[in-house]
Amino acid sequence: MSMHNVNDDLRKITTNINKNLKTIKNDSLKGMIEFFIDVRRLMDKVPPLVPVGTTGNLRSSWFVVSAIGDVSREENNATKNKKAGRLSVNDKIAQDNFVETQKNRAIASSNTSKPLVIAGFSANYAAYVHEMIDANFQRPGAGAKFFESALNTKAREIEDTIARKIKNR
């Protein structure tokens, strides 16, 4: 076998390895997104649930963003109403949430070296409510540490979720 053929073979092998690594990276990212979707569902099924006030803003401010974009929502009603020249108080709250989500999207999109997913609540008071241990929330089953509790419950599953995504490609 000539040296030229060996180099060609090595190039093909390297190309295939890089292609497979990119696929694994994308599948890992999909697995991470799926994990956070499951975490969000859990916060509405197993106490402590996400507290809901009069507007439901906290609950609806959930977002999941990654290098591949915003997977939790696209243009919201506030953005549509702003374009139409009308913006209510609730629209202002939604717009603030949208801006916060966009900031996190920019952070996630700037990371190209490894899979990155950012999830959370964009309401500016989310962390405060999360830590209100002695609060008496309106929603039955709602309580402090709702996000932390769901993460802890699902934590053992994240590796399995990612591995399943990679394996099923």
Cβ-based neighbours of 67, under 8 Å, separated by 6 or more: 29, 108, 109, 111, 112, 115, 116
pLDDT of residue 78: 44
Distance CA 83, CA 136 (A): 39
- On whether the CB atoms of residues 59 and 93 are closer than 8 A, the answer is no
Distance CA 125, CA 121 (A): 9
pLDDT of residue 97: 77
pLDDT of residue 5: 74
Question: What is the residue range of 90's domain?
Answer: 3-167
Cβ-based neighbours of 4, under 8 Å, separated by 6 or more: none
Nearest residue to 51 via CA among 156, 128, 151: 128
pLDDT of residue 88: 59
Structure tokens at 32: 């991470």
Cβ-based neighbours of 33, under 8 Å, separated by 6 or more: 64, 66, 71, 117
Strand boundaries in 107-155, DSSP class E:
117-121
Parts of the chain with a pLDDT under 70:
1-4, 6, 18-25, 68-92, 112, 169
Segment 79-107, tens digit of pLDDT: 454 555 554 556 667 777 787 777 877 77
pLDDT of residue 77: 47
Q: How many domains in the chain?
A: 1
pLDDT of residue 117: 85
